[in-house]
Structure 1
Amino acid sequence: MGVLARVLRAVGGEDVLDRLAQLSGSDLTTLLLALTRRRAGAVTGPDVLRQYKVDRFVGPAQVPFGVLRAVEDRLLGALPPAFDVVGLAPVVPLGTCSAVAELDQNNVLSTIRGTEVAADVTNSLALEAAVRRQATAEDVRLAAVQRVVRSQLFEGAGRFAHFTLFAAVSAGRDRGSLAFERQHFAEHVAFLREACGDVEVRVTVLDPRFEVVRGELPSDPSRRTGYYQGLCYKVYLHGEEIGDGGFTDWTQRLTGNRKERLLISGVGVDRLATL
C-alpha cells in the first residue's frame, strides 16, 4: 500500500481526496486554516526549536551572507540600464510552476491560501512581464534576485533546499526574421559574461532556424528539453554549471497571444559564490 492510500484509508476512505478537491477555493482555505491552527496550537517552543535544527527548509543559508551579497551586487551592477530590477513577492499564484513551466507541483511548497512559495525567479518575472506587455508595445526587460525554495532533493556541492537565484527576462513581440531573438540573446550573453567573468556559454539549438541566432558559441551535446523552445544554453564557470537560459512560450501561455516572445536567463548565486 502506498503512503497516500494508507493516509486516505485512515481519514475515511479513498474518496476523501476527491471530495476535498471539489470544494471551492475559499471553502478549502477555511478548512485548511482551521486544521493548521489546531495543529499549531499543539506545538511547543521546544518542538519549534527541534524542527529548526533538522528541517532542511528552514535553516539559514550555508553560504555566508556577505559572500552572497557581494555576488548579488556584482550581478545587479552589470545589468544594462534598460533592465528594471523588481522586488518580487515571496509567493506566487498556485500553479505558476506547473501550469506555466510544466513542472511537477510536488517540487514546490504549496500554501493553504492558493499560492506557492517562489521556486524560480524567472516564473515570477514572466508573470510581471506579461502584465507589462499588455500595457505597452515596447520590449520589457526585468531582473530580480530572490531566495527560492525547491522541494526535490539535490545532491552535490552548491545544491540546497533554498538558495538565491538571479534572473533576467526579456519580453516582446515577434518582429520577424528572428529579430527579437537575435537582439536579446546577444544582450543576455554579453551581460552574463560581464557579470560572471570568464564563463563558457554552451548552446543547444532546438529549432534549426535558431542557428543564425547563436553565433560562434559552442554547442552543448545534451539536448535540453522541457520548457525551452528554439534555443537554450547553459553557463559554465571553471567547468561548473552556474546558470542556464533560453526562449520559452510562457508569455504566450499567460496572455493567449502567440506573437509574444520571452527569453529568460538564471544564475545560481550560491553556486557562483562557492566557485
Structure 2
Amino acid sequence: MTERTSALDRVLMQAGGSEILDVLAGRLSGADLTTLLLEVMRRRAQALSPADVLRRYGQDRFVAPAPIPFTRLRRAEDAVLSALPADVEVVTLAPVAPLGACSAVGPVDQNKVVSTVRNSEVAADPTNALALEAALRRRAAAGSEPVRLAALQRVTRAQRFEGAAFFAHFTLFALVTAGRDTGDLAFERRHAAEHLAILSKAVRACGMPDPEARVTVLDERFERVAASLDAKPDPDRESGRGYYTGLCYKIYGGGLEVGDGGFVDWTARLLGNRKERLLISALGVDRLA
C-alpha cells in the first residue's frame, strides 16, 4: 500500500466512508463541486489569524520568493527571448490552465500539479498551455502552415525534488511548433533542427559558451531525423520514454541539464487528427540565471 493510499483511507474514514469521494469526484457537476469547495475554503480562511498566515508563509515551499535575484532572472529572460526568430510569436500565458492540462494529454499524475477549486490548475508547464493555444489556432486555420509559439512562465510543481537548482516554482522558456505531417519526416527534420538551434543560441546568450545537445531515438524511423541534428546520441536516457514520441533531446550548459524537448502527440489527440504534429522544448531559466 502506498503512502498516498494509506493517507486517503485515513481521511475517508474520518469523513464517513468512501461514498463521499464518489459524490465529490463524479456525482456533483463541476459547478456544484466548485460551489462546495469555495465554501470550504472560505470557512477555513475565516478561521485563520494574521499570525497563522505569516507562519504558513514562512514554512510553505510553494509561496517562498525565488532564491535567484530578480535582476539575474530578468537578464536571463531577455537573453533567451533574443534567440527567437522574428516569426515566432511570444504569448503571455495565464497563471492557471484548465484542469487536466497536463494529465489529460500526457502520462503525468495530477498530484504533480497544484489543482485549484475552480476546475483549473496552477501552471506547471508552459508547453501544455502553448499546445492548447496551438491546437485552437490549427483548428481555426485548417491549413498546413505551422503555428510557432513561445512563452516565459513562472510555474509550480507539486512533487518534491532534492539537490541544487531544484525549486518548487521556477521560470520556464517554452517553444512549440504545431503543424501537419507533410511526409518523409520533413516536418520533424526541419523543426527539430530549428528548435535545437534556438535553444543552443539561447543558452549561449545566457553566458554559457558551449551548450551540448543529446538526442534519444524512441522510434527507429526517427534515426534519419537524429542523424541530421547537431547533437550527440544518448541511447541510454530513461526519462521521457512514454512521454515523448519518436525522438527527444536534452540540452546541457555549464555541466548542468538546462533544457528538454521532443515530439508529442498532444495536438493529434486534442484535434482528433493523426496527421497533426507537435514539437515542444523548454529551458529552465532559473538554472540559466
Q: TM-score with structure 1 length normalisation?
A: 0.97
Match of 1:177? 184
Match of 2:247? 231
Aligned partners of 1:206 and 1:231 also within 8 Å = yes
Structure 1 distance, partners of 2:186, 2:140, is 22
2:218 matched to 1:206?
yes
CA drift of 1:199 comes to: 0.7
Structure 1 distance, partners of 2:93, 2:182, is 29
2:196 matched to 1:189?
yes
2:78 matched to 1:73?
yes
CA drift of 1:14 comes to: 2.0
Q: Where in structure 2 are the equivalents of 1:15-30 lying within 5 Å?
A: 15-21=19-25, 22-30=27-35
Structure 2 distance, partners of 1:12, 1:193, is 56
Structure 1 distance, partners of 2:252, 2:201, is 14
Q: What amino acid does structure 2 have at the position aligned with 1:252?
A: A
CA RMSD of aligned residues (A): 1.1
Which residue, out of 223, 233, 243, partners 1:219? 233
SS of the counterpart of 2:140?
A: coil
The one-character-per-residue Cα deviations of 1:189-234 (angstroms, maximum 9, x if unpaired) are: 1111111122100000011111111225211121440210000000
Which residue, out of 244, 262, 276, partners 1:260? 276
Q: Where in structure 2 are the equivalents of 1:84-95 lying within 5 Å?
A: 84-95=89-100
CA drift of 1:102 comes to: 2.1
Structure 1 distance, partners of 2:283, 2:98, is 23
2:28 matched to 1:14?
no
The one-character-per-residue Cα deviations of 1:90-132 (angstroms, maximum 9, x if unpaired) are: 1111011110122000000000010000100100100000001
Structure 1 distance, partners of 2:124, 2:106, is 11
Which residue, out of 165, 173, 183, partners 1:158? 165
Structure 2 distance, partners of 1:208, 1:14, is 47
- Percent identity reads 63
Q: What amino acid does structure 2 have at the position aligned with 1:231?
A: L
Structure 1 distance, partners of 2:57, 2:231, is 45
Which residue, out of 54, 57, 70, partners 1:49? 54
Match of 2:207? none
Structure 2 distance, partners of 1:226, 1:72, is 30
Structure 2 distance, partners of 1:208, 1:12, is 53
Q: What amino acid does structure 2 have at the position aligned with 1:72?
A: E
2:244 matched to 1:249?
no
Structure 1 distance, partners of 2:7, 2:163, is 28
Which residue, out of 100, 107, 113, partners 1:108? 113
Structure 2 distance, partners of 1:150, 1:113, is 18
**Unaligned 5+ runs, structure 1:** none
**Unaligned 5+ runs, structure 2:** 205-209
CA drift of 1:240 comes to: 1.1
SS of the counterpart of 2:114?
A: coil
Structure 2 distance, partners of 1:247, 1:147, is 23
Residues paired across the two proteins, number: 273
CA drift of 1:187 comes to: 0.7
Aligned partners of 1:101 and 1:123 also within 8 Å = no
CA drift of 1:158 comes to: 0.7
Match of 2:175? 168
Q: Structure 1 residue runs of 4+, over 4 Å off?
A: none
Structure 1 distance, partners of 2:40, 2:179, is 44
Q: What amino acid does structure 1 have at the position aligned with 2:30?
A: G
